[in-house]
A and B are shown apart, each in its own frame.
Chain A
């Protein structure tokens, strides 16, 4: 139990996907303009990463490992994730229309998101058990969402500020991200992780 809590806290705060591992920077910069879209994107990411952690774990343990095909993991994982996103979208559209309306437009964006593939690869690298893998995937995605939503608040403030010409647009966003990242850096060393 202690191990699971440690994995979860570490994934949310200490090794935050966006702010300390730099995974999923594209959506972080792309959809963090408004808090509502940030929440939608975060929800879609949590959904997909949690499922994909479990699916890729099964594929790795029962398909790739026994057949000594582990070197194919990059190809297999990316195709599985692409198919999975497609499947989730179809199933959601059919059986959960309200959820689909809320998260649907963010789902296709997720295939090219390195956070999803990144978490699958990290699970393999760290040799997590199935439960640990799912907890890790879920909490990483929660950490991602947390960073995204917090940052969207910062960005809404920036929009109304008077910014020097050269810094308008992307540069000021990155500088603000640096400050948020400093804040998260304070979690380093928490519980000796």
Chain B
């Protein structure tokens, strides 16, 4: 019993630390760079993506035994797109400010590699309960990563955090950090810091392969599925 609860716990924490989707697996880089000009937006995007991830993981886990292997990719994409549309409409109706800030990146959750990767790698192979934990862990990891990058950019670039001025008497904000180049810089330095602290672990070398490989994996599977 103790062992199984430990495993359950590790599924939950896996996404936050060991396999952080943004900082370790380098998935979902587009929103991580685009909307992290403010810490608040990072949280908004993180929660929106977590909702889609949770919904799609639950549904895909439930239907995993009925969906034939050959058509699973289009089915997964449709499920994910369905939940993305729900989030889009909910944000539009109840949080118009966040909706305006995130703009086009909300519908683009549908092509976020994190969600598809979890559907393919986890939800289609595991029970509903485990899939929920996995979605929550991965979603939390995504949100935390966006919050970190967003905080760095907002503090350095605008001198505020969550809209509260923090560096008023310390230094003048460097506007470049909230502009596009700052996104690449902040992301680069955060990944470098993580690499620095986990340098003893040789396995982390894999980080250099980046998202290109993972997306290629998704797409290659996609190709096979459609045929």
Name A's B-contacting residues (CB within 8 A). 19-27, 29-31, 71-75, 78-79, 82-83, 86, 89, 108-114, 117-118, 121-122, 125, 165-175, 177-179, 181-182, 185
Q: Are the C-beta atoms of A170 and B191 separated by less than 8 Å? A: yes
* Residue from the set B187, B196, B212 with the largest chain A CB neighbour count within 10 Å: B212
User: B182 contacts which of A89, A166, A178 (Cβ < 8 Å)?
Assistant: A178
Nearest-CB distance from A6 to chain B (Å)? 20
Tell me if A166 and B184 are in contact (CB < 8 A). no
Using CB atoms and an 8 Å cutoff, list the residues of chain B in contact with chain A.
26, 29-31, 33-34, 74, 77-78, 81-82, 84-85, 88-89, 104, 107-108, 110-113, 116, 176, 179-185, 187-189, 191-193, 195-196, 199, 205, 207-208, 210-213, 215-216, 218-220, 222-223, 226
Number of A-B residue pairs, CB cutoff 8 Å, is 163
Q: Are B210 and A29 in contact (CB under 8 A)?
A: yes
A30-B211, A121-B104, A167-B192 known; A75+B78 contact, CB < 8 A: yes
Nearest neighbor of B222 in chain A, beta-carbon distance: A111
- Report B-chain residues with C-beta under 8 Å of the C-beta of A71: 85, 88-89
B184 touches which of A21, A79, A181 (Cβ 8 Å)? A181
Query: Which of A82, A114, A117 is the one whose CB lies under 8 Å from B74?
Result: A82
Report yes or no: B81 in contact with A79, Cβ–Cβ below 8 A: yes
Chain B proximity of A156: nearest CB distance (Å): 16
Question: How long is the Cα–Cα vector from A165 to B183 in the complex, in angstroms?
Answer: 22
B residues near A19, Cβ cutoff 8 Å: 180
- The complex places the Cα of A89 from the Cα of B222 at a distance, in Å, of 13
